[in-house]
């Protein structure tokens, strides 16, 4: 049954892509980029450099959100080097506050929001495809945050095996059925400047991008997803960092379900939000049932039977083949079965922290993953 549903999602997503294919806009120098930065000394200069090299970018507005490392020093040096960089320093307010402060300096009709650890290809039309959606009437549009594998360890490679194709399939299907994608990622989103100024970001949650996306949908704005824009944020290199990051995402999701409870009864809630939660509930129940059956029957071999069934290995290998073509790395196909690690990780965090967040509305303090320098190809 799950295989049939997955195939149906893939076919629907492909048909939607073919029907709604657009050419990229050619309006160069028409986008302002807002780049919040907190303790980003390792990768800030490279990110600013590639953004300024992008033909669609008018200016980069980088907001140093009270960093305690050399971010401020590096930002000031970059501002002297590049006239189209607007350097803003402020006391620490959180990412939402930094983005809203940066928005005060925007002069373009649309702004692109991304993160300081994210590589945005300077020589493609990725931003042009987002801009084409804005020109077609969208108020906000998100792309795909893939994985930056430059200087990355083993975990980012495992994460990259299925990340890009699964985001493309899920968010396209959500657009088709729910009217809008589940989220516009903070690493890759374009907004009409006037719309963002009206709605604004909030730091009431640790997932300001999810909170904003649902707010825009609730207020009737046209929110879309675009598969032709792909950016490359860094992934975590340790299980500890991954636990902290996924805990923020999962508990933030749970808290947003409380904050946006009326939205759950709408088309968007029924087809974009609740299915994401249902998959977790059903998945946890299925694993517990399978383990209870397999352990008495297969003993020590039961985890292999439960977590690496043949159907799983075949399906994820096929999905990973797409990622392997995208990243030009065949190793991703071999690593694909180990993507179950992230399934187990998410289920465990939901059990330990997510349900508590759903019941209490409280989130843990925001933890920052360790950054690493990357090489721009």
Per-residue pLDDT band for 85 (boundaries 50, 70, 90) equals: very high
Query: In this structure, are residues 231 and 120 in contact, taking their beta carbons and an 8 Å threshold?
Result: yes
Of 1-10, 74-83, 130-139, 174-183, minimum mean pLDDT range:
1-10
Give residue 375's pLDDT.
43
Per-residue pLDDT band for 207 (boundaries 50, 70, 90) equals: very high
SS3 content of the chain, % helix, strand, coil (to 5): 55, 15, 30
Separation of alpha carbons 113 and 360, rounded Å: 30
Q: Which residue has the tokens 């516009």?
A: 184
Give residue 9's pLDDT.
64
Average pLDDT score over residue span 66-83:
96
Query: In this structure, are residues 315 and 138 in contact, taking their beta carbons and an 8 Å threshold?
Result: no
**Could you tell me the domains of the chain?**
2-238 (3.90.550.10), 263-360 (no CATH)
pLDDT single digits (tens) 318-365: 999 999 999 999 999 999 999 999 999 999 999 999 999 999 999 987
Give residue 377's pLDDT.
34
Alpha helices in 161-238 (DSSP H): 163-178, 193-199, 208-218
Write the DSSP assignment of 263-314 as a string of letters: GGGSHHIIIIIHHHHHHHHHHHHHHHHHHHHHHHHHGGGHHHHHHS-HHHHH
Give residue 241's pLDDT.
94
Of 31-45, 96-110, 122-136, 284-298, minimum mean pLDDT range:
284-298
Give residue 301's pLDDT.
54
Per-residue pLDDT band for 17 (boundaries 50, 70, 90) equals: low
DSSP 67: -
The CA–CA distances, whole Å, from 21 to 169, 225, 260 equal 15, 12, 32
Give residue 192's pLDDT.
98
Give residue 376's pLDDT.
38
Give residue 353's pLDDT.
96
The model's pTM: 0.92
């Amino acid at each position: 049954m799950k295989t049939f549903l997955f195939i149906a999602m893939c076919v629907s997503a492909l048909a939607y892509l073919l029907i709604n294919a657009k050419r990229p806009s050619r309006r160069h120098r028409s986008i302002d980029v807002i780049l919040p930065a907190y303790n980003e000394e390792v990768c800030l200069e490279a990110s600013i450099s590639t953004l300024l090299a992008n033909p669609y970018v008018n200016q980069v507005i980088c907001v140093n959100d009270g960093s305690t490392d050399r971010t401020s020093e590096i930002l000031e040096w970059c501002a002297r080097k590049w006239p189209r960089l607007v350097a803003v320093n402020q006391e620490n307010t959180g990412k939402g506050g930094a983005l809203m402060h940066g928005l005060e300096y925007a002069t373009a009709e649309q702004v692109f929001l991304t993160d300081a650890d994210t590589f945005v290809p300077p020589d493609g039309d990725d931003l042009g495809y987002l801009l084409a959606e804005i020109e077609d009437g969208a108020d906000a549009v998100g792309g795909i945050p893939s994985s930056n594998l430059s200087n990355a360890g083993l975990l980012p490679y495992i994460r990259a095996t299925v990340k890009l194709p699964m985001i493309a399939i899920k968010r396209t299907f959500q657009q088709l059925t729910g009217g809008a994608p589940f989220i516009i990622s903070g690493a890759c989103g374009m907004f009409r400047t006037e719309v963002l100024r009206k709605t604004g970001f909030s730091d009431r949650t640790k997932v300001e991008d999810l909170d904003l996306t649902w707010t825009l949908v609730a207020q009737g704005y046209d929110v879309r997803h675009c598969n032709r824009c792909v950016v490359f944020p860094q992934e975590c290199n340790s299980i500890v960092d991954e636990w902290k990051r996924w805990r923020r995402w999962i508990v933030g999701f749970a808290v947003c379900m409380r904050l946006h409870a009326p939205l759950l009864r709408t088309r968007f809630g029924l087809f974009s939000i609740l299915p994401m939660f249902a998959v977790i509930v059903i998945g946890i129940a299925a694993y517990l049932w399978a383990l209870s059956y397999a352990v008495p029957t297969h003993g020590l071999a039961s985890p292999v039977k439960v977590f690496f069934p043949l159907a799983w290995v075949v399906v994820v290998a096929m999905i990973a083949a797409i990622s392997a073509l995208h990243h030009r790395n065949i190793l991703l196909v071999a690593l694909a079965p180990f993507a179950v690690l992230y399934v187990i990780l998410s289920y465990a965090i939901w059990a330990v922290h997510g349900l508590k967040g759903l019941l209490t509305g409280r989130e843990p303090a925001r933890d920052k993953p360790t950054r690493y320098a990357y090489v721009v190809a």
